[in-house]
Structure 1
Amino acid sequence: MQALDLLTSRRSEKKLFEPAPSKDQLEKMFQAALHTPDHGKLQPYHFVVIEQDRLAYLADLLKEAVNELNLGEERLKKAESFATRAPMIIGVVAKINKDIKKVPAWEQMLTAGCATYALQLAANAQGFANVWVTGPWIDGSALRQAFGCEQHDKIVALVMIGTEEEKISRDPKVINTENIVRYL
């Protein structure tokens, strides 16, 4: 797939099935993430791969977060089914160091976001569909602990990855840029 085609045809897909990326395919995805813009070469992020029987553990962590944060019955039902919607989920944690004056926290957060997007594009380039999900449960204490978060870290994504049931051929959506582009 050509890079420009990939960038202009990317879309989120929520119905994901086996297979998930192999170890070699995951390595390519992580290599793509490591090549995103990174002022200070901090690599202010880390990834948590969740698959197979650990998906049930993720569901337990999400349910615990729902109860801890009083998110209600509807969110509890979503937490119960969340981890069954893809064969692999990759958690992305922004590793924020507020003591680095040269690279402010907001810039470190953007780098983690860029790394997440690069990971998604690398998955797409290898034939895998995905969707970036967050939600209020990402602030759950047990989930943060399981993901190795420190005080200022932020879980920025739960990227669900797998294979689409059926490839749907769609023409790239052309979006009007008139309202978002300005020239000086």
Structure 2
Amino acid sequence: MTEQQNTENAAPDTALTALLGRHSIGPRWMVAPGPNDAQLTQAVQAALRAPNHGRMKPWRVVTVSEAQRPALADLFEQFARDSGKSAEDVAIERERAYNGPVLVAWVARIDSGVAKVPPHEQWICVGGALSNFMSALHFMGFGAKILSGRKCQHPALVQAFCQAGEQLVGFVCIGSPTRELEPREPDDPRPLLSAWSVR
């Protein structure tokens, strides 16, 4: 193998090593800085490389600025109160609007009327794009975690972030990690990999 071939192979090996080490990190373990506009754009560019039958792009990303956090906190509070949560839990829900130095909403648009690209394929694209987005941020040195739950179905939040026919998938918190990955058992891919047995 030539020196040039060694150099060409180094980047994919490095990327694979980084991917195998990717993990989500909670907002309490994040500090500023988060990604800037150019880095977010690059992460979205990586998301566009996910499998995408028909090039439908059934997802989009909505940024939430620092100045908009109080408005988001009001929406989270409305969800908590409508859910019958205690005053303490309402306060906790408000605080979640301030998670992560950078916060984006992940929005999906699934069109059930496209015969060649059924809904499950569109959801595959949404998930694949999200995975690429978060992996790209990890490669840049940031930590990220998507937080979802029942509040993403609350009418006030859906109205705030979604257009007609869209669904709010969740909020991605992004920042600089303050701790390393906690030790865990190595992932074993073997139970998930099998040969087709013709019946």
Whether TM exceeds 0.5 here: the answer is yes
- In the alignment, is the contact (CA less than 8 A) between 2:162 and 2:168 conserved in 1? no
> Does 1:50 find its partner at 2:64?
yes
How far has the Cα of 1:140 moved from its partner? 1.3
Q: In the alignment, residue 91 of structure 1 is paired with which amino acid?
A: A
Superposed displacement of residue 114, structure 1: 1.1
Alignment gaps of 5+ in structure 2: 1-10
Q: The residue matched to 1:102 in structure 2 has which SS?
A: coil
Q: Displacement of 1:47 after TM fit?
A: 0.7
C-alpha distance in 1, partners of 2:163/2:84?
A: 21
Higher helix share: 2
Say which SS state the counterpart of residue 54 (structure 2) adopts: coil
**1:157/1:6 CA distance change after superposition, 3 Å:** farther
Q: 1:103 aligns with which of 117, 123, 126?
A: 117
In structure 1, what is the equivalent of residue 161 of structure 2?
A: 147
d(CA) in 2 for partners of 1:149, 1:104:
21
Identity of paired residues, percent? 27
Deviations 1:58-88, CA, capped at 9 Å, x for gaps:
22112222233x1523653431111223111
| Aligned-partner SS, 1:10 | coil
Match of 1:157 in 2: 170
Q: Higher Cα Rg: structure 1 or 2?
A: 2
Secondary structure of 2:98's counterpart equals: coil
Q: CA deviation at 1:108?
A: 1.1
- CA distance in 2 between partners of 1:75 and 1:117 (Å): 30
- Please list the CA deviations of residues 89-120 of structure 1 after superposition, one character each: whole Å capped at 9, or x if unmatched: 11111111111111111221221111111110
Residue 64 of structure 1 contacts residue 140 of structure 1 at CA under 8 Å; is this kept in 2? Answer: no
**2:149 paired residue among 135, 159, 164:** 135
How many residues align structurally? 181
| Runs (5+) with no aligned partner, structure 1 | none
4+ residue stretches of structure 1 with deviation over 4 A?
169-173
Q: Which residue of 1 aligns with 2:85?
A: 72
The one of 93, 102, 106 aligned to 1:92: 106
8 Å contact kept, 2:76–2:97 = no
Partner SS, residue 176 of structure 1? coil
- TM-score norm. by structure 1 comes to 0.89
Is the Cα–Cα contact under 8 Å of residues 139 and 155 in structure 1 kept in the other structure?
Answer: yes
What is the TM-score of this pair, normalised by structure 2?
Answer: 0.82
CA distance in 1, matches of 2:69, 2:167: 20
